[in-house]
Amino acid sequence: MCMNRSRNLMLILPLALLTACSNPTTSTAPAGTGTDELAPAATAAADQKAVAQLDLLRLQGHHWLLDTATDAAGKRVDALFARADKPVTLDFKDGRLSVGNTCNRMGGSYTLDAGTLTVSPMASTMMACTDKALMALDQAVGARLEGALKAELADQGPLTLRTAAGDVLVFKPEPTAETRYGGEGETVFIEVAAQTKPCSHPLIPNMQCLQTREVKYDDKGLKQGTPGAFENFYGSIEGYTHEAGVRNVVRVKRYKIANPPADAPSSAYVLDMVVESAVEKK
């Protein structure tokens, strides 16, 4: 009997050891930290990051034109509408916010995070405007756009900024030229002669064309070479209004137009700035 009992113990012991080795050690991680619970949090964070990136791309792909502005009491902020024909415009690019249609050119750096637009103290040119309302416009804009603003960007809709003081500014989107033409475009300088000339166009009788030629500059802003002869410019330069008797050199962005209609230009031109201007006698 003793021998049988001893043999049984010898058989049971290896089996017990084998069973213990075959069972992996269970995790000692505290409750609530399992990967099945981390996955939704990681997915939500990734979704928020993707939404923020889309918002940033949409900000950069549009000009933002001030449409309405009210104070905490719901009253219109008249000081922000000094130029009825040219509303205050915001442009976001390369981490900088630029403000247009004010007396001076204004701008500062910005960040967009979790629905908060934070704008650094803005720098501006020091040009004096004869219109007192325009001079006051700069101060009114700076006081409301600097600092932390609650930002709401509706899908395909306006940008709403809320200041700490309770002002609500609503901006309408207008696609930039880069968005409309699908690329950055090429910067070129064009000299526009003082007078237009008649030019032939099959669809427009008695058409008058701008007389233009391309001008080259070096990195220091000095003209290079001799410009060619003036030629008929069929089409228009977006943002440029020609005044008879005034010769201008303009910096423009030139964009290729994919599949232009028949008898239409294959390139679009958008004014960046007028770099030289002179009145010429006939």
Provide the pLDDT for residue 15.
40
- The three-state DSSP-derived secondary structure of 209-241 is EEEEEEEEECCCCCEECCCCCCEEECCCEECCC
Report the C-alpha gap between 282 and 279 in whole angstroms. 10
Provide the pLDDT for residue 9.
36
Strands in 36-167 per DSSP E: 62-70, 89-93, 96-100, 106-113, 116-119, 123-124, 147-153, 159-162
pLDDT by residue (tens digit) across 144-163? 999 999 999 988 899 999 99
Provide the pLDDT for residue 17.
39
pLDDT by residue (tens digit) across 2-41? 444 444 433 344 444 344 444 444 444 455 555 555 566 6
pLDDT by residue (tens digit) across 70-86? 999 999 999 999 988 89
Provide the pLDDT for residue 168.
98
Q: 265 pLDDT band (50/70/90 cuts)?
A: confident
pLDDT by residue (tens digit) across 31-67? 555 555 556 666 655 555 555 667 788 899 999 999 9
What is the residue-averaged pLDDT of the chain?
A: 84
Q: What is the rounded average pLDDT of the residues 223-229?
A: 90
| CA neighbor of 90 nearest in space, from 75, 77, 102, 74 | 102
Q: What is the rounded average pLDDT of the residues 222-234?
A: 91
CB 67 within 8 A of CB 170: yes
Q: What is the rounded average pLDDT of the residues 215-232?
A: 90
CB 156 within 8 A of CB 179: no
Provide the pLDDT for residue 36.
55
Domain boundaries, the chain: 54-175, 181-279
Cross-strand pairs, 150: 116, 162
Provide the pLDDT for residue 41.
63
CATH class of residue range 54-175: mainly beta
Q: What is the rounded average pLDDT of the residues 256-279?
A: 88
Q: What is the rounded average pLDDT of the residues 191-208?
A: 88
Report the C-alpha gap between 119 and 141 in whole angstroms. 12
pTM (two decimals): 0.70
